[in-house]
């Protein structure tokens, strides 16, 4: 197990470096740079060359690309992610400011969609082929294919504009600071409803269909038949025998979902003015704010690598047949 872990970590570091090199190269390959962004905003009066040179020097834009990358990497080693070219604040501070919003929103929509989606999937698996199951499959595909901006606008129009049941935008209300703790919780939840729904409905479909197909495969296997034959109740067969064996693909899915928890959705954040990571990423790319884009890449890469590591370890927990690191000769 220990050797396996060391080897996996070594791979992870290499993958991480690869990701940063690729992102660095890509963002610099996009035409335009912080300089053209500023010049574009200054209008006819222009920006004096000395000012532009000062910006170039500060962000090492006057150096060759590989040197710029090494500068950046040198900073990362000491956990210095640099400062944003937009507002000159430390990149870590900017990300840390938005992360809680994004994380809350994504975690709740994940719990909601998984909590509803997986049971639905299991129900479908036991009823595979019947008319109700087929109808639900069609329904979930329809749900999955609805564009989220359209759903968001529809929800907003209905619940915030037409009926005025829910707040239109933002994370908390104006009078948040004057509310009781319970009132603050309620206020936060009211603001969460529409963004969560917008994020959750498509994920719900994914979870439902994914767990259904995972389970269907298991249900067809002999040991399930055996369990039924020995007289176990339907619930026991499903939960004790089938579901545990269907866990493996679900764990893989989990490894893919965890990174999504910290990656924001530009559409949801834009429409509901939910101040999160997605919008920050988007704006940073538009402004060619290289330090911020790289900082967010690092955050996402680290979480993704950790999640896939975690998923690998969970395989061993879920399935005792998997023994990590002991390759069979």
* Cβ atoms of 218 and 245 closer than 8 Å: yes
Piece in contact with other proteins (CB under 8 A), picked from 1-9, 126-134, 228-236, 272-280: 272-280
Out of 15, 92, 190, 263, the residue judged to bind other proteins by CB under 8 A:
190
> Sign of the C-alpha dihedral, residues 276, 279, 281, 284?
negative
- Give whichever of 13 and 111 is closer to other proteins, judged by the CB atom: 111
The torsion of the CA quartet 125, 126, 131, 133, rounded to 10 degrees, works out to -40
Q: Contact between 326 and other proteins (CB under 8 A)?
A: no
Nearer to other proteins, 97 or 312 (CB): 97
Which of 98, 16, 11 has the alpha carbon at shortest distance from 294? 16
Q: Using CB under 8 A, pick the residue from 21, 189, 236, 256 that binds other proteins.
A: 189
In the DSSP assignment, the letter for residue 83 is B
Residue 203 makes contact with other proteins by CB under 8 A: no
Which CB atom, from 112 or from 296, has the smaller least distance to other proteins? 112
134 contributes a contact to other proteins by CB under 8 A: no
Taking the least distance from each CB to other proteins, the nearer of 180 and 329 is 180
Nearest-angstrom CA–CA distance, 197 and 188: 14
Judged on CB neighbours under 10 Å (0-12, 13-18, 19+), 73 is middle
Nearest by Cα to 102 from 284, 275, 256, 299:
275
Assess contact for 265 and 199: CB atoms under 8 A: yes
Judged on CB neighbours under 10 Å (0-12, 13-18, 19+), 181 is exposed
Cα angle 57-75-58, degrees, rounded to a multiple of 5: 10
- Helical H runs in 237-289? 244-245, 247-262, 266-272, 277-286
Q: Is 303 in the site for other proteins (CB under 8 A)?
A: no
Q: CB of residue 143 vs other proteins: minimum separation in angstroms?
A: 17
Q: Determine if 55 is a binding residue for other proteins (CB under 8 A).
A: yes
327 binds other proteins (CB under 8 A): no
Task: Tell me the three state secondary structure of residue 320.
Answer: coil
Interaction pattern, residues 1-40, with other proteins; x per rule: CB under 8 A: -----------------------------xxxx--xxxxx
Please report how close the Cβ of residue 120 comes to other proteins at its closest, in angstroms. 12
The answer to whether 181 contacts other proteins (rule: CB under 8 A) is no
Binding site for other proteins (CB under 8 A): 30-33, 36-51, 53-55, 58, 83, 86-89, 97-98, 111-112, 115-116, 119, 153, 156-157, 160-161, 164-166, 168-171, 174-175, 177-178, 183, 186-187, 189-190, 192-193, 196, 270-273, 275, 279, 283, 286-288
């Amino acid at each position: 197990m220990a050797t396996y872990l060391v080897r996996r970590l070594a791979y992870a570091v290499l993958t991480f470096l690869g990701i940063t090199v690729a992102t660095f190269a890509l963002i610099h390959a996009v035409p335009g740079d912080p300089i053209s962004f500023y010049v574009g905003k200054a209008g006819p009066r222009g920006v004096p060359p000395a000012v532009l040179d000062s910006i170039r020097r500060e962000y090492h834009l006057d150096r060759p690309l590989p040197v710029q990358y090494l500068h950046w990497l040198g900073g990362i080693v000491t956990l210095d992610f640099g400062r944003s070219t937009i507002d000159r604040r430390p990149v870590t501070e900017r990300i840390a400011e938005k992360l809680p919003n994004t994380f809350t929103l994504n975690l709740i929509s994940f719990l909601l969609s998984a909590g509803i989606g997986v049971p639905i999937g299991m129900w479908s698996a036991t009823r595979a082929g019947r008319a109700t199951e087929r109808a639900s499959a069609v329904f979930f595909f329809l749900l999955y294919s609805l564009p989220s901006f359209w759903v968001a606008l529809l929800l907003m129009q209905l619940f915030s504009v037409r009926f005025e049941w829910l707040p239109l935008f933002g994370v908390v209300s104006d009078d948040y600071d004057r509310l009781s703790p319970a009132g603050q919780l309620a206020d936060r939840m009211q603001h969460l409803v529409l963004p969560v729904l917008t994020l959750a409905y498509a994920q719900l479909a994914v979870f439902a269909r994914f767990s259904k197909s995972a389970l269907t495969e298991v249900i067809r296997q002999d040991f399930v038949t055996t369990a039924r034959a020995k007289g176990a109740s339907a619930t026991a067969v499903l939960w004790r025998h089938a579901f545990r064996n269907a866990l493996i693909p679900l764990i893989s899915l989990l490894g893919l979902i965890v990174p999504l928890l910290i990656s924001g959705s530009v559409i949801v954040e834009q429409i509901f003015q939910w101040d999160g990571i997605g919008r920050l990423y988007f704006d940073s790319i538009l402004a060619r704010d290289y330090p911020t884009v790289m900082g967010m890449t690092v955050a996402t890469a680290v979480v993704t690598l950790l999640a896939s590591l975690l998923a690998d370890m969970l395989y061993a927990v879920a399935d005792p047949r998997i023994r990590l690191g002991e390759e069979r000769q």
